[in-house]
Amino acid sequence: MSHRDLTILVIDENAIRASIIEEGLREAGHGNVTVIHEVHGVARIIETLQPDVIVIDIENPNRDMMEHLFQLTRTVGRPIAMFVDRSDTASIEAAVEAGVSAYVIDGLKKERVKPILDMAVSRFNAFSRLQRELADAKSALEERKLVERAKGILMKMRGLSEEEAFTLLRQTAMNEKKKISEIAQSVVTAAGLLIR
Protein backbone atom coordinates (compact mmCIF):
# COMPACT_ATOMS: atom_id res chain seq x y z
CA MET A 1 0.00 0.00 0.00
CA SER A 2 2.74 2.45 0.87
CA HIS A 3 4.16 2.43 -2.66
CA ARG A 4 0.90 2.73 -4.47
CA ASP A 5 0.02 6.12 -5.83
CA LEU A 6 -2.46 7.83 -3.51
CA THR A 7 -5.91 8.53 -4.88
CA ILE A 8 -6.93 12.08 -4.08
CA LEU A 9 -10.36 13.69 -4.39
CA VAL A 10 -10.64 17.49 -4.27
CA ILE A 11 -14.09 18.95 -3.59
CA ASP A 12 -14.19 22.69 -4.10
CA GLU A 13 -17.07 24.84 -5.31
CA ASN A 14 -14.52 27.35 -6.53
CA ALA A 15 -13.35 25.97 -9.85
CA ILE A 16 -10.30 28.22 -10.14
CA ARG A 17 -9.02 27.34 -6.69
CA ALA A 18 -9.64 23.66 -7.36
CA SER A 19 -7.58 23.77 -10.54
CA ILE A 20 -4.75 25.52 -8.69
CA ILE A 21 -4.68 22.66 -6.17
CA GLU A 22 -4.97 20.04 -8.86
CA GLU A 23 -2.02 21.53 -10.69
CA GLY A 24 0.04 21.54 -7.50
CA LEU A 25 -0.78 17.91 -6.80
CA ARG A 26 0.19 16.87 -10.30
CA GLU A 27 3.43 18.83 -10.07
CA ALA A 28 4.16 16.94 -6.85
CA GLY A 29 3.83 13.72 -8.79
CA HIS A 30 0.29 12.68 -7.87
CA GLY A 31 -1.38 11.21 -10.91
CA ASN A 32 -4.67 10.03 -9.37
CA VAL A 33 -6.36 13.34 -8.71
CA THR A 34 -10.05 13.93 -9.26
CA VAL A 35 -11.63 17.34 -8.86
CA ILE A 36 -15.36 17.98 -8.43
CA HIS A 37 -17.07 21.32 -7.97
CA GLU A 38 -20.36 20.27 -6.47
CA VAL A 39 -21.29 17.59 -4.01
CA HIS A 40 -24.26 16.33 -5.96
CA GLY A 41 -23.53 12.72 -6.82
CA VAL A 42 -20.45 12.66 -4.63
CA ALA A 43 -21.42 9.37 -2.99
CA ARG A 44 -21.19 7.48 -6.26
CA ILE A 45 -17.86 9.14 -7.08
CA ILE A 46 -16.40 8.24 -3.71
CA GLU A 47 -17.53 4.66 -4.04
CA THR A 48 -15.96 4.34 -7.48
CA LEU A 49 -12.75 6.19 -6.67
CA GLN A 50 -12.13 4.87 -3.16
CA PRO A 51 -9.99 7.93 -2.40
CA ASP A 52 -7.27 7.81 0.24
CA VAL A 53 -7.46 11.53 0.82
CA ILE A 54 -10.40 13.90 0.35
CA VAL A 55 -9.63 17.62 0.44
CA ILE A 56 -12.67 19.87 0.99
CA ASP A 57 -12.82 23.58 1.62
CA ILE A 58 -13.72 24.39 5.18
CA GLU A 59 -16.46 26.86 4.29
CA ASN A 60 -18.34 24.20 2.39
CA PRO A 61 -21.50 23.56 4.44
CA ASN A 62 -21.80 20.20 2.74
CA ARG A 63 -19.20 18.81 5.12
CA ASP A 64 -22.20 17.70 7.20
CA MET A 65 -23.50 15.80 4.20
CA MET A 66 -20.13 14.04 4.00
CA GLU A 67 -20.50 12.97 7.63
CA HIS A 68 -23.87 11.47 6.80
CA LEU A 69 -22.38 9.71 3.82
CA PHE A 70 -19.54 8.16 5.84
CA GLN A 71 -22.07 7.09 8.43
CA LEU A 72 -24.26 5.27 5.92
CA THR A 73 -21.71 3.74 3.63
CA ARG A 74 -18.50 2.16 4.66
CA THR A 75 -17.02 2.54 1.20
CA VAL A 76 -14.26 4.86 2.29
CA GLY A 77 -12.72 2.63 4.91
CA ARG A 78 -12.72 4.70 8.02
CA PRO A 79 -12.26 8.34 7.07
CA ILE A 80 -10.71 10.56 9.70
CA ALA A 81 -11.29 14.29 9.62
CA MET A 82 -8.20 16.39 10.02
CA PHE A 83 -6.53 19.70 9.36
CA VAL A 84 -3.05 18.84 8.06
CA ASP A 85 -1.60 17.46 11.25
CA ARG A 86 -3.66 16.47 14.25
CA SER A 87 -0.97 17.21 16.81
CA ASP A 88 0.60 20.41 15.56
CA THR A 89 -1.41 23.46 16.67
CA ALA A 90 0.40 25.89 14.39
CA SER A 91 -0.27 23.86 11.28
CA ILE A 92 -3.91 23.33 12.29
CA GLU A 93 -4.29 27.08 12.62
CA ALA A 94 -2.65 27.60 9.25
CA ALA A 95 -5.06 25.13 7.66
CA VAL A 96 -8.12 26.71 9.28
CA GLU A 97 -6.88 30.14 8.27
CA ALA A 98 -6.39 28.96 4.69
CA GLY A 99 -9.72 27.13 4.71
CA VAL A 100 -8.58 23.55 4.14
CA SER A 101 -10.07 20.49 5.74
CA ALA A 102 -9.61 16.90 4.75
CA TYR A 103 -10.64 13.33 5.31
CA VAL A 104 -7.90 10.75 5.36
CA ILE A 105 -8.22 6.99 5.42
CA ASP A 106 -7.33 5.66 8.84
CA GLY A 107 -3.92 4.03 8.98
CA LEU A 108 -2.41 6.03 6.17
CA LYS A 109 1.11 7.11 7.13
CA LYS A 110 1.42 10.71 8.22
CA GLU A 111 4.52 11.27 6.07
CA ARG A 112 2.49 10.45 3.00
CA VAL A 113 -0.44 12.72 3.79
CA LYS A 114 1.26 15.75 5.27
CA PRO A 115 2.95 17.00 2.07
CA ILE A 116 -0.38 16.77 0.25
CA LEU A 117 -2.24 18.78 2.86
CA ASP A 118 0.61 21.27 3.27
CA MET A 119 0.49 21.79 -0.45
CA ALA A 120 -3.29 22.31 -0.35
CA VAL A 121 -2.85 24.91 2.39
CA SER A 122 -0.21 26.84 0.46
CA ARG A 123 -2.26 26.72 -2.74
CA PHE A 124 -5.38 27.89 -0.91
CA ASN A 125 -3.33 30.79 0.43
CA ALA A 126 -1.89 31.55 -3.00
CA PHE A 127 -5.43 31.69 -4.31
CA SER A 128 -6.61 34.13 -1.63
CA ARG A 129 -3.56 36.27 -2.36
CA LEU A 130 -4.49 36.28 -6.02
CA GLN A 131 -8.04 37.29 -5.18
CA ARG A 132 -6.81 40.05 -2.90
CA GLU A 133 -4.47 41.39 -5.55
CA LEU A 134 -7.25 41.37 -8.09
CA ALA A 135 -9.53 43.26 -5.71
CA ASP A 136 -6.76 45.76 -4.96
CA ALA A 137 -6.10 46.31 -8.65
CA LYS A 138 -9.79 46.88 -9.24
CA SER A 139 -10.12 49.43 -6.48
CA ALA A 140 -6.92 51.20 -7.60
CA LEU A 141 -8.46 51.61 -11.03
CA GLU A 142 -11.69 52.94 -9.50
CA GLU A 143 -9.75 55.43 -7.43
CA ARG A 144 -7.84 56.68 -10.43
CA LYS A 145 -11.06 57.22 -12.32
CA LEU A 146 -12.48 59.15 -9.37
CA VAL A 147 -9.43 61.43 -9.15
CA GLU A 148 -9.70 62.09 -12.89
CA ARG A 149 -13.32 63.17 -12.51
CA ALA A 150 -12.54 65.38 -9.51
CA LYS A 151 -9.68 67.00 -11.42
CA GLY A 152 -12.00 67.72 -14.33
CA ILE A 153 -14.55 69.36 -12.03
CA LEU A 154 -11.91 71.56 -10.37
CA MET A 155 -10.42 72.58 -13.71
CA LYS A 156 -13.81 73.61 -15.00
CA MET A 157 -15.15 75.34 -11.91
CA ARG A 158 -12.01 77.04 -10.68
CA GLY A 159 -10.21 77.48 -13.98
CA LEU A 160 -7.18 75.48 -12.83
CA SER A 161 -4.69 73.62 -14.94
CA GLU A 162 -4.64 69.83 -14.63
CA GLU A 163 -1.50 69.94 -12.53
CA GLU A 164 -2.91 72.63 -10.23
CA ALA A 165 -6.11 70.65 -9.78
CA PHE A 166 -4.16 67.55 -8.81
CA THR A 167 -1.92 69.52 -6.41
CA LEU A 168 -5.02 71.00 -4.76
CA LEU A 169 -6.53 67.56 -4.25
CA ARG A 170 -3.29 66.16 -2.88
CA GLN A 171 -2.71 69.12 -0.57
CA THR A 172 -6.26 68.89 0.79
CA ALA A 173 -5.86 65.17 1.37
CA MET A 174 -2.64 65.79 3.30
CA ASN A 175 -4.18 68.58 5.35
CA GLU A 176 -7.21 66.50 6.28
CA LYS A 177 -5.19 63.30 6.73
CA LYS A 178 -7.37 61.50 4.21
CA LYS A 179 -6.75 59.53 1.06
CA ILE A 180 -6.76 61.50 -2.15
CA SER A 181 -9.54 59.24 -3.44
CA GLU A 182 -11.71 60.22 -0.47
CA ILE A 183 -11.23 63.92 -1.22
CA ALA A 184 -11.93 63.23 -4.89
CA GLN A 185 -15.14 61.45 -3.87
CA SER A 186 -16.20 64.48 -1.80
CA VAL A 187 -15.57 66.79 -4.75
CA VAL A 188 -17.60 64.59 -7.08
CA THR A 189 -20.44 64.29 -4.55
CA ALA A 190 -20.46 68.01 -3.81
CA ALA A 191 -20.44 68.85 -7.51
CA GLY A 192 -23.37 66.52 -8.02
CA LEU A 193 -25.28 68.36 -5.30
CA LEU A 194 -24.36 71.89 -6.35
CA ILE A 195 -24.55 71.81 -10.09
CA ARG A 196 -27.89 71.10 -11.57
Applying CB under 8 A, the residues found at the interface with other proteins are: 39, 41-44, 47, 58-73, 78-83, 86, 89, 92-93, 96, 101, 103
| Closest among 76, 69, 72 to 47, alpha carbons compared | 76
Please give the C-alpha separations between residue 133 and each of 97, 129, 140, 143, 144, in angstroms, as whole numbers: 18, 6, 10, 15, 16
Residue with smaller CB distance to other proteins, 88 or 142? 88
Give how far the C-alpha of residue 99 lies from the chain's centroid of Cα atoms, to the nearest Å.
8
Smallest gap from residue 31 Cβ to other proteins (A): 25
Smallest gap from residue 9 Cβ to other proteins (A): 14
Residue with smaller CB distance to other proteins, 18 or 42? 42
| Closest among 46, 28, 167 to 103, alpha carbons compared | 46
Residue with smaller CB distance to other proteins, 118 or 182? 118
Smallest gap from residue 124 Cβ to other proteins (A): 15
Smallest gap from residue 39 Cβ to other proteins (A): 8
